[in-house]
Amino acid sequence: MQYIGSVYRPPSEAYSLIVQVTLGCAHNACTFCSMFKDKPFSLRREEDIFQDFEEARRVYRRVERIFLADGDALVLKTDKLLRIMDKIRALFPECTRVGIYGSPQDVLRKTRAELVSLREAGLGIVYIGAESGSDRVLAQVKKGATRAEIIESIEKTEDAGLPASVTFISGLAGRDGLREHAIECGTMISQASPSYIGLLTLIVEPPAPLCADIEAGRFALLSPTEVVEETRLLLEHTDVRRDCVFRSNHASNYVSLRGTLPQDKARMLAQLDAALQDAGLLKDERFRML
């Protein structure tokens, strides 16, 4: 297998075969992100991708899940993605789910028919980074998508029968924007009603451009208690119209939550209240990571 540079995957793809079909991120401008700043975006050659799959077939007896990396592999033209899916089906008939990162713009560029054809070819989940529900915060972090575009991309993905797993970042608006960020993330979740929500907590590492703002005092990171307060406010403002698996069990989080909205909302709020009462329930800073 040929892995080029650092490889990232969603927590739920921990046991998946990961194959890079693109390198880096086509957007690569988010101010909080350090993932691909040293890896210019490029497409991998089809023969190199296929070689990786063939090698994996020789090495692994059973491959149930496959994740297509890097940052926003859904940027690939649908024809090429369908050829990749065909290869997967031919080599790994036991594979039950293929996942991919897609930016809101990648989804919006595809027609509904293209998304349906990808689902029929075996694509099983699209991971979309919303990060915030607030247009002001999205512009500030240079996300490259508006609230309306993100909601449309989630609805379009779900409408094509593809579950969307959508990520938000606690603390992304700093102390000044805590309330706005929390409420607008909650209302975005309610409006778009994706199948899955993943809540991470902001960790900024060089060379993310946001580092300079933190050092200069222009951006205040939240304290652990403020992160919990923000998460509580976010959850309070969710009112989903279909079941939504909510997880904040990423290594970056202070409190690990897992449940299905709306039925587990009260339990998760109680868990956050308990953490607000007892700081001993918060994850130690030494054990947090990206």
Q: Enumerate binding residues for ligand SF4 (CB under 6 A).
A: 25, 27-30, 33, 35-36, 71, 103, 129
Considering beta carbons, is residue 169 or 268 the nearer one to ligand SF4? 169
Considering beta carbons, is residue 208 or 235 the nearer one to ligand SF4? 208
d(CA 42, CA 124): 24
Environment class of residue 33 by beta-carbon count within 10 Å: exposed (0-12), middle (13-18) or buried (19+)?
A: buried
Closest CB 269 distance from ligand SF4, rounded Å: 28
Considering beta carbons, is residue 33 or 137 the nearer one to ligand SF4? 33
Closest CB 23 distance from ligand SF4, rounded Å: 12
Is the peptide bond preceding residue 70 cis, with omega within 30 degrees of 0? yes
Considering beta carbons, is residue 36 or 53 the nearer one to ligand SF4? 36
Closest CB 36 distance from ligand SF4, rounded Å: 6
Antiparallel, parallel or unpaired: β 97-101 and 17-20? unpaired
Retrieve residue 190's tokens.
Answer: 């309610």
171 within 8 A of 227, measured Cβ to Cβ:
yes
Closest CB 148 distance from ligand SF4, rounded Å: 18
With residues binned 3-state (H G I as helix, E B as strand, rest as coil), the percentages for the chain, rounded to 5, are 40, 15, 40
Considering beta carbons, is residue 35 or 154 the nearer one to ligand SF4? 35
279 within 8 A of 230, measured Cβ to Cβ:
no
- CA torsion sign for 88, 93, 94, 97 is positive
Closest CB 228 distance from ligand SF4, rounded Å: 23
